């Protein structure tokens, strides 16, 4: 049986990522890109969370394309209205998410 080096629990019962999710301060903003396209930028992720997995789930939930660059998630389109509820459903707290 494998043991997590961070929390000392078995890998199946590891709670490191849940603890890391409660300490994040996430910032959401919308930028206008080339040719008038809108892009939603989600930043503020520190170590301890799988940012690629979060991006994959957000893209699926919001039905859009996107990418991960420099510890930020870039989603195609303006998702200011839906992003807060989508992040809360992924385990983040509502008080951690700020729109900028």
What is the DSSP secondary-structure string of the chain? --B-TTT-SBGGG--HHHHHHHT--EEEEEEE-GGG-EEEEEE---TTS-HHHHHHHHHHHHT--EEEETTEEEEEB--HHHHHHHHHHTT--GGGEEE-
Average pLDDT over residues 65-72: 93
Where exactly are the structural domains of the chain?
11-99
- Indicate the class that CATH gives domain 11-99: alpha beta
pLDDT above 90: residue 37: yes
Tell me what the pLDDT averaged over the chain comes to.
Answer: 87
pTM above 0.85, yes or no: no
């Amino acid at each position: 049986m494998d043991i997590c080096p961070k929390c000392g629990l078995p890998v199946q019962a590891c709670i490191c990522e849940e603890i890391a999710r409660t300490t994040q301060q996430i910032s959401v903003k919308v930028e206008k890109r080339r040719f008038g396209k809108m892009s939603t930028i989600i930043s503020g992720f520190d170590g301890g969370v799988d940012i690629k997995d979060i991006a994959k789930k957000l893209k699926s939930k919001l039905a859009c394309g996107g990418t991960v660059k420099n510890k930020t998630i870039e989603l195609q389109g303006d998702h200011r209205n839906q992003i807060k509820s989508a992040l809360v459903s992924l385990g983040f707290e509502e008080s951690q998410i700020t729109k900028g």
